[in-house]
Structure 1
Amino acid sequence: MQFESVSESRLSFVVCFIAAFVGCAPLLQAQTEPAAPHTFFRVKAAETLTAPVSGRLLLFLKPGSGDKEVSIDEFHPTATYVAAQEIHDLEPGEEVEVNADQLAFPKAFSELNGGLYEVQAVLDTDHNYNYAGRAPEDWISNVMALAGWKPGSTAEPELVLDHHPEEDAQRKAAYEKLKGTATADVARLEEFESPALTRFWGRPTKVRAWVILPPDYVKSGGKYPTVYWTHGFGGEIDSALVSGLRIYERMKAGKMPPMIWVMLDESCPQGTHEFADSVNDGPWGTALTAEFIPWLEKKYRMDARRDGRFVQGHSSGGWASLQLEVNYPKVFGGTWSTSPDPSDFHDFTGIDLYADHANVYHRPDGSAYPIMRDKGQVLATAEQFTRLEQVLGPYGGQMTSFDWVFSPKSVSGAPEAMFDRVTGDVDPKVVAYWQEHWDLAHVVSTHWADRGADLKGRIHVYVGTADTFYLDGAAHKFDAVLKGLGADAHFTYIPDRTHFDLYGVGDDRQGLFDEIGQQMWDVARPGKSWKNRQ
């Protein structure tokens, strides 16, 4: 996990249903009165465009003025209003009228009070806004100030899609400088066309990773333990390199033992595939363990044995590393998973998916389930998080990504939704499938007889007690299950740490890597020191 349709909530429906039987005439009358006129914007494709454009047209509007960009803030999801509409083959110079009430978050634009606002249009051409935000191929308008604007009382504002998003120049320069250090003796990009994935998708599909070499790799001539690292939701191949180079610098500085780190890319159009053998995303676990790893071990001086192969990752990558260890205990000698996505679905970010009449949006008393917090303050509810994701697009968002990884395939070919996006009601049949295949606490319990000997002592989890996404709850439940099995698992709960500062040790924001690296080394090279190799 790492950050993420307008209709009445289930609670409101119940209130209105009861009111009808107690003679609440004013409420019924109000519901039959004509709705306020819808609010529209006009969006035009600039005449300078050279070809028709298609995609998901997004309008971002918020109070204020003077900003160069109007976008969402994941930590304050209701601060910006978003409306969406699909468009197809909009010709240069042609315009489209966007109904800002039909598909909007957090509410219809017509419900806004008058005031000073600013608005911007974005055409998400490749439908990946939920995962990566604005891309260089998208089209955007300038930010328009709406002084004294009141929905429906003035002419429809017109926005012109005439340029692409500008990449942050400083950030780009910093990345290019960093990438320049990725010489062949430090980092190598590996792309492997997977036969299993290619058969599944019917087109060439690759496993990609940056292989980070230890500083003494070229001159040593020896073999090395290898770590397969996976990023969280929102990560991709470039961010994997950045993380890998940070690890390289720690090895170079003598803070971490010399090992090979394979920085895997687990992003896909549907979100993160998490290297699971999913009926929707494809056999990524098989592709990694049966194809990619043997291929790499022929190219590099890797230990090529269970106690020399480890998995590690954070957030969605933390869950991926957990499931890889659970499902392939003879391949990997241990996982060091940090802030993993829910590993026990009795606590799916605080929600018990197995409860009678389970609902992702509301507790039995009608109160909202939170999904993000900071310093004890709720930043977003599960319903807000999901509804924003639905407006931005039904592709690549966190909740949708869970369905793609965990769910069975529907008759239409799409994954079955675990819960109704309108009401929040959980589908027990889909949850039963989730449990059987991907509830790791259940999977370990069910298969302990045949996997227990290989898993004992191999599971390590770190999570903050103030995790931003409430992921410490599931960790405690998984921990209890493993204790009951005698699994000798190692769970570390770091007081007051969140999802984003978990690795800090003193003033070192990445210091936890040193501890993890040392523990891996002790498994691969018991009783041997690595410091004399520096």
Structure 2
Amino acid sequence: MKMIVSLLLLMTLNASAQQPTSGKGRVYDLSVALDSSLKGPYTGVLRLYTQKDTTRGFGGEHSLDEPAFSINVKDWKYGERKFFDHTARAQYLKMTDVKPGYYKMIAILDTNTFERGNGAPGNLYTRKEMILQVSDISVKGSLVLSNIFQERPFPVSDSTKEVVLLSRKLSAFRKRDIYLKAGIFLPPSYFTDTRREFPVVYIIPGWGGTHHQAAVARIRKLYGAGVGAEKIFVFLNPENQTPYGLHAYVDSRVNGPWGTALTEELMPYIQSTFRVSRDPRLTFIQGQSSGGYGALWLALHFPEKIGGAWITAPDPIDFSNFTGIDIYQDKNAFIDQNGKDRGINLTEGKFLSTIREGRIKETFDGDGGQQQSFEAEFGLLDKHGRPARLYDDNGKIDSRVAASWKPYDLSLYVQEHAGKLKKEMIGPVRIYAGSADNFLLNHAVEAFDRKINKFGLPIHTRVIDGGTHFNLRSEALIKEIDQEMQALIDRTK
């Protein structure tokens, strides 16, 4: 009898967990189910996103005034429904405060704790967008998770090849197999002049860019492929196998020795596999945005291996102006000295968002956002084994964390190692920023220049009038970079 009572009680508890609930004046009948093709069990964070405009599909930036909610799920199997109610975590607007109306909605189950982002392989998503109905007395809607994000196949062809190389250094650090990935673009004469060795240009893309860009002609052109003399282009993947955002090929105390793995493992492999010149004077690097910081870090830390570096719109290279924040002197990242919210994403003279809003969205979306990527790239682990936060939910800056970032403040690095760099640099470094950079990165470039220009190093900066974060790589600049690169190639003949 005791067993029967216990079983009935368990059935009652399970049933109640799978039924609509009420609270705060509304009945909540908002649920997500698994498609019959997805048996489970699945464990992770189930996120539900909505938008007020029901006439358009989802895409682009998800603003704070668009309600979004999440719940944790464990061992979720087909046949069970997961319900959202007033207790669900809200991105910003609580479910009790959602205004009556109709909203389009989608859901994503984030199960991948090793790759960043909602679209990471293995995560589940709803292909079909549905309608959420909100009234004063009820919240109704249902979704079905029907698909799984897959690993994106690399488009191999005669001219584009993929390299996936097991890294012993990174694997030892992470205590699991870690692979370096690269997309190789081979020029036409590679196949007709089979004895020739080619100069090589390594590319570190910015946020969202991967080695797959080697197969995209428009993006290759942005980095000079097809311009001037032929070279082999190697597009790197700065965000594979990292849960905390882009590692950017920087040796990090949190992410691991990505820069060392690149220069000591991947570069020698590419030299031996693709007839790339072994002359370091013919090894060049370019980077954009987050990749720009990484390219500069590599050029300064491995100066004897890089024959020239061209960096555009780099992430902050001087931390006294970190997207408008002096991390060493300012007390709060959200509020400036005048008590106003610090803006971000400057477009046509107007900030489209704030640093406070960015942190809220990033926290809701889980690991791997922009600020966390900085904290993993530059900082240390906290007592919970996660990247220590530079500032808390109220924007208060932790001065101890700020101090721990100093080895990655490239102004400080150059000042400390100027003598060594003067002896070991074999090629120039050129850094470009736009005067209208959307993330105020030009100010960090200017601060960097003021602090290092007295050392007489072959490091040059230029702020291009009117340039933004996204249009800096103009046709004229691409041609200029290629001409400089060609001049360096000619010197080796």
- Look up the match of 1:256: 228
Distance 1:249 1:343 in 2: 21
Distance, in Å, in 2 between the alignment partners of 1:110 and 1:129 is: 33
Evaluate the alpha carbon distance shift between residue 430 and residue 250 of structure 1 in structure 2; reply closer, same or farther with a 3 A threshold.
Answer: closer
Q: Which residue of 2 aligns with 1:398?
A: 370
Query: Are residues 274 and 381 of structure 1, via their aligned partners in 2, closer, same or farther at CA, if it must alter by over 3 Å?
Result: same
376-385 or 137-146: which moved more? 137-146
Any idea what SS the aligned residue of 2:362 has?
helix
Alpha carbons 2:330, 2:397 under 8 Å: kept: no
| Equivalent residue runs for 1:343-362 within 5 Å | 343-357=317-331, 359-362=332-335
Amino acid at match of 2:369: G
- 2:421 maps to amino acid: R
> Counterpart of 2:424 in structure 1: which amino acid?
D
Instruction: Identify the residue that residue 324 of structure 1 maps to in structure 2.
Output: 298
Residue pair 1:212, 1:245 contacting (<8 A) in 2 also: no
In structure 2, the partner of 1:312 is 286
Question: How many residue pairs end up in the alignment?
Answer: 466
- Give the C-alpha shift of residue 372 in structure 1: 1.0
Q: How does 1:21-100 map to 2 (within 5 A)?
A: 40=28, 42-46=30-34, 48=36, 49-67=38-56, 69-70=57-58, 73-74=60-61, 77-99=63-85
Q: 1:5-59: CA deviations, max 9, x gaps?
A: xxxxxxxxxxxxxxxxxxxxxxxxxxxxxx9668855323236232333322111
How big is the shift at 1:99?
A: 3.9
Q: Which moved more, 1:451-460 or 1:319-328?
A: 451-460
Q: Give 3-state SS (helix, strand or coil) of 2:345's partner.
A: strand
Relative to structure 1, the CA distance from residue 46 to residue 407 in structure 2 (aligned partners, 3 Å threshold; closer, same or farther) is same
Once the 2 structures are TM-superposed, how far is the Cα of residue 429 of structure 1 from its aligned partner? Answer: 1.0
Q: Deviations over 1:236-278 (max 9, x none)?
A: 23234326973499654xx332111111111133211111111
Contact 1:101–1:110 (CA under 8 A) maintained in structure 2:
no
Q: Secondary structure at the match of 1:273?
A: coil
Identity %: 29
User: 1:150 and 2:124 equivalent?
Assistant: no
TM-score, normalised by the number of residues in structure 2: 0.86
Q: Which amino acid aligns with 2:434?
A: G
Q: Distance in 2 between matches of 1:503 and 1:245?
A: 11
Deviations 1:421-474 (A, max 9, x none): x11111111111101x21011111111122233348722011111112111111
Partner SS, residue 463 of structure 1: strand
Residue 369 (structure 1) shift: 0.9
Distance in 2 between the 1:282 and 1:497 partners? 34
What is the CA deviation profile of residues 74-102 of structure 1, one whole-angstrom value per residue up to 9, with x for unaligned ones?
2x623522212221122212122224565
Q: Residue 19 of structure 1 aligns with which residue?
A: none
Does the residue aligned with 1:446 lie in a helix, a strand or coil? helix
Unaligned runs of 5+ in 2: 1-22
For the pair 1:230 / 2:204, whether they are aligned, the reply is yes
Quote the residue 2:436 is aligned against.
466
Distance 1:117 1:222 in 2: 60
User: Using the alignment, how far apart are the partners of 1:372 and 1:141 within structure 2?
Assistant: 30
Task: Please give the alpha-carbon distance, in whole angstroms, between the structure 2 residues aligned to 1:96 and 1:249.
Answer: 47
Aligned equivalent of 2:309: 335
Amino acid at match of 1:525: D
- What's the CA shift for 1:354? 0.8
Measured at CA, do residues 256 and 99 of structure 1 come closer, stay the same or move farther in structure 2, by a change above 3 Å?
farther
Give the corresponding residue for 1:20: none
For residues 489 and 305 of structure 1, the distance between their equivalents in structure 2, rounded to whole angstroms, comes to: 21
Deviates more, 1:121-130 or 1:347-356: 121-130
Q: What SS does structure 1 have at the residue aligned with 2:188?
A: coil
Contact 1:187 1:213 (8 Å CA) reproduced: yes
Q: What is the aligned counterpart of 1:219 among 192, 215, 218?
A: 192
SS of the residue corresponding to residue 216 of structure 2 reads helix
What residue is the counterpart of 2:176 in the other structure?
203
For the residue of structure 2 that corresponds to 1:157, the secondary structure is strand
Please report the RMSD computed on the Cα atoms of aligned residues, expressed in angstroms. Answer: 2.9
